[in-house]
Chains A and B, each alone.
Chain A
């Protein structure tokens, strides 16, 4: 499932390729998406957002025992993560909740 998240960090280069500051990398805001993994699909510096492909975890810690996640649990994980996305919440609210600063982009035109 794909969703869009705000980003934080500092842009070091925009051309010929996008690079972040190693001391403050371009990354997703500090929000706990839960027991899911994700991969970057695309980066949108103009709108300070990244599109990510989210997958639920294949295992869960059930009272100290690691077992495979059920289909229902996987659906719950995805839904829980989606609640923290720009598709479901305003950008300003997500920045406020995460306490992450807005993206610093010295190349952005006013």
Chain B
């Protein structure tokens, strides 16, 4: 640290001669200034900043205090895994809107790993518990169409109510919140003979495919439902 002098006089003294208080205007503390930059604040004593230079890294989620040089490439230049394709559709992280199709059953279980094909295909089996006497969504999947396509779906099912004689239900298929089809009445051990299917021309973008089961069981019993789902999209 040193004391600034001009023509052998302290700056403070020169300032007083001029009727000014020029040096003490600064209010930075050493912790506010990047190390090793120097500055004056509050006195004519030259001070050196102590703020450390830090950086975020892909290896952890630490966000240390200090000076960040930044990266004009954005956060995804630091960690390439920060990409839309890695983020669930409907979720936005640091401005990146997710496009990853997540398939889940009504119990909230992520069963995306059961899909081995491209995101536009939704072939898999599902088994779920159905609420009595009403509609239960057993599948909701968002597929992202790069171009106008025909979206197709076909769903088979089987009912097994725990302690009710009424093992009946229907499958209902929706695209973008519009019902496309309904199966005939599905009954116990009738797997494969009843299905709901539809296809619809859709424009590009996110399309929500959904399958509901309507249970006729009014005995306030829960049913278990098994379904095979085949679906996908074919470009127009």
Contact = CB atoms under 8 A, between A and B. Distances in A.
Contacts of A25: 174, 177-179, 210
Given A25-B177, A59-B190, A37 B196 contact: yes
A35 B208 contact: no
B190 A21 contact: no
Interface string A39-59: 110010000001000011111
Nearest to B172: A27
Contact of B174 (A27, A36, A39): A27
B168 to A, nearest CB: 8
B28 to A, nearest CB: 53
A39 B190 CA distance: 21
What interface size band does chain A fall in?
20 to 34
A40 B179 contact: yes
A8 B180 CA distance: 13
A110 B194 CA distance: 42
A38 interface: yes
B179 A26 contact: yes
B203 interface: yes
A72 interface: no
Interface in B161-183: 172, 174, 176-183
Nearest to B193: A59
Interface residues of B, number: 27
Question: Majority SS of interface residues in chain B?
Answer: strand
A45 to B, nearest CB: 10
Contacts of A58: 184, 193-194
B198 A19 contact: no
A28 B179 contact: yes
Contacts of A18: 176, 178
Given A39-B198, A58-B193, A20 B181 contact: no
B189 interface: yes
Interface in A38-89: 38-40, 43, 50, 55-59, 61, 66
A61 B178 contact: no
Given A27-B172, A57-B185, A61-B190, A39 B177 contact: no
A9 interface: yes
28 contacts: A16-B203, A19-B176, A20-B174, A20-B177, A22-B177, A22-B210, A25-B179, A26-B177, A28-B179, A35-B185, A37-B181, A38-B181, A39-B197, A39-B198, A40-B180, A40-B198, A40-B200, A43-B178, A56-B184, A57-B184, A57-B185, A57-B194, A59-B190, A59-B193, A61-B190, A66-B187, A66-B190, A66-B193
Given A22-B177, A27-B172, A37-B183, 17 more contacts: A9-B177, A16-B203, A17-B203, A20-B174, A20-B177, A22-B208, A25-B178, A26-B179, A27-B174, A27-B179, A34-B185, A38-B182, A39-B197, A40-B178, A40-B180, A40-B200, A58-B184
